[in-house]
Amino acid sequence: MRGCAHCTRRRGRWNERRPAAPKALSPEVRRTEGSRMSAVVPDDLVGRPAVAWSERAFQGVLTTGLGCLGFFLLFSTAGTSISLFALLCLCFLSPLRIWRLKPWREPVLGIGLVLLAYIAMRTFIGEGLTWSSVGALNRYHELLMLPLLWAMMRIARRPQAFSSGLMVGALVFAAMHWLSPLIPQLGPFLHSRRISAGFGLAVCAYLLFEHGRLGALRKWLAYGAAIFLSITVIFAGEGRTGHLVLLVLLGCAAYRAAPHRWRLPVMMAILVGGLFVASMSQPVRLRLVETWKDAQATNNGVVVANSSTGARIELFRNGLIVARENWVLGTGWQNYQTEFARASAPRHNGSRDVLGSTADNPHNEYLMQLGAGGLPALVLFMLWLAWPFWRALREGEDRSPWAGAVGSVALAFATGCLFNSLLLDYVEGHFYGCLMAWLLVRRLHH
């Protein structure tokens, strides 16, 4: 039966809109297309290029090395050295990658390299090229380690392995402080690391707080761990540097977390609350009383035997004399100990029995740089410390959320350098160098 003209016209339009049937391919074309597909599909079914086994092995070793470095950084010099040696070997395997990243273009890394170059020039030209002068320069190798580690963290696919290892290591190290009454062998170990422990645990507590605030870690986990580390520093730690650094970082955390209009009032309130909590700590009270009594006795000319406070005052006085007499170009790092003993001799009739009368550093990094390297070294060192803090103020929270964390850690290190030669010390210098490398990378990938 024939349909009406209207239906016939509709069927005609539908046939015109239907796509044409694909043309049959000849056997030669089918073989060509099949060879093309076989070269593409097996690479990666989800669209990612295949990774060579050598690159997978390289990334695996790099991730493991970063994790181990973070874990051992606070309490094991052997573990830190082995991890850094493994990462150094990886640097030799990827020199072109490091060169393409141009770490010296990062201002903090570039200023550090200039400072290291000045120390080398001042040491070798002023004191000669000897094994002793090479050893003096090697004490500042963290300035070279920092850009290399920054580059390796940029290359790494999982740079957060370092921060994860660091937080786990900090929690383990804090647990050792509470277990020391049950394990007597931990007492001498923790006492020898009381300065680095207080500084490192205070900084790790602040970083855990920032991880929770910025959403990099669950808030309850990050804040709980930060409180645990802070309580450890206050109630189980003996280092005065850690107490002071924790107070500084507490103010930084309050300032960054509070609303813009309420930053100063909130920061002052948090600092007052922190001082109140610290006043309930027996170690803090004992250290305050000891510091006050020994400082008064030392100022009155009384030599207090085995007094840490008296030794620090003596070190500061002698370091100030050396810096005042050699502020232009310094004594040189190799000759600093000789000039230090010469400065203290007139006040003690040539006796070297007074604690703090002889030393190779004044336990103050600013006096160390000014006395050993002169004004150029001090200016470069202060610029190296101040740049992260200045950039944090310039960029602001919205532009770079992690820049403020970088500046806060730099401020904590600058505070600690008032009472210790932190860059010269192995644990503190490596801790700050490794952590600053990770923070600078984290700032780029916010």
Each of the 446 residues of the chain gets a pLDDT tens digit; together they read: 444 544 444 444 444 444 555 555 455 444 444 443 333 334 443 445 566 888 999 999 999 999 999 999 999 999 999 999 999 999 999 999 999 999 999 999 999 999 999 999 999 998 888 888 898 899 999 999 999 999 999 999 999 999 999 999 999 999 999 999 999 899 999 999 999 999 999 999 999 999 999 988 999 999 999 999 999 999 998 889 999 999 999 999 999 998 888 999 999 999 999 999 999 999 899 888 888 888 887 777 776 777 788 888 889 999 999 999 999 999 999 899 999 989 888 877 766 777 777 888 899 999 999 999 999 999 999 999 999 999 988 887 767 788 899 999 999 999 999 999 999 999 999 999 999 999 999 988 65
Asked whether the beta carbons of 381 and 387 are under 8 A apart, the reply is no
Stated pTM of the model? 0.85
Are 149 and 177 in contact by the 8 Å Cβ rule? The answer is no
E strands within 174-238? none
Dist CA 20 CA 68 (whole Å): 63
User: Cα–Cα distance between 378 and 366 in angstroms, integer?
Assistant: 6
Alpha carbons within 13 A on the beta-carbon side of 224: 5
**Does a structural domain hold residue 173?**
yes
Neighbours of 40 (CB within 10 A): 8
The predicted structure's pLDDT at residue 399? 73
Give the chain's domain count. 1
Do the domain assignments include residue 344? no
In a domain, 184, yes or no: yes
Residue 307 lies in a domain: no
426: three-class secondary structure by DSSP: helix
Q: Cα–Cα distances in Å, from 180 out to 21, 197, 203, 231, 427?
A: 82, 14, 22, 15, 21
**Does any domain span residue 397?**
yes
In a domain, 336, yes or no: no
Minimal CA–CA distance to 328: which of 84, 105, 126? Answer: 126
Instruction: For the beta carbon of residue 341, count every other beta carbon within 10 angstroms.
Output: 17
DSSP label at 289? H
* 308 dihedral zone (left: phi>0; alpha: psi -120 to 50; beta): alpha
Report whether 221 contacts 234 (CB < 8 A). Answer: no
Residue 127: domain span: 57-287+358-444
Whole-number pLDDT of residue 200:
97
Paired tokens of 269? 């309130």
Q: From CA 42, how far away is CA 373, in angstroms rounded? A: 61
| Length of the chain (residues) | 446
- Per-residue DSSP letters for 41-68? GGG-TTSPPP--HHHHHHHHHHHHHHHH
Half-sphere exposure of 171 (CA within 13 A, CB side): 15
In a domain, 297, yes or no: no
Q: Is residue 346 part of a domain?
A: no
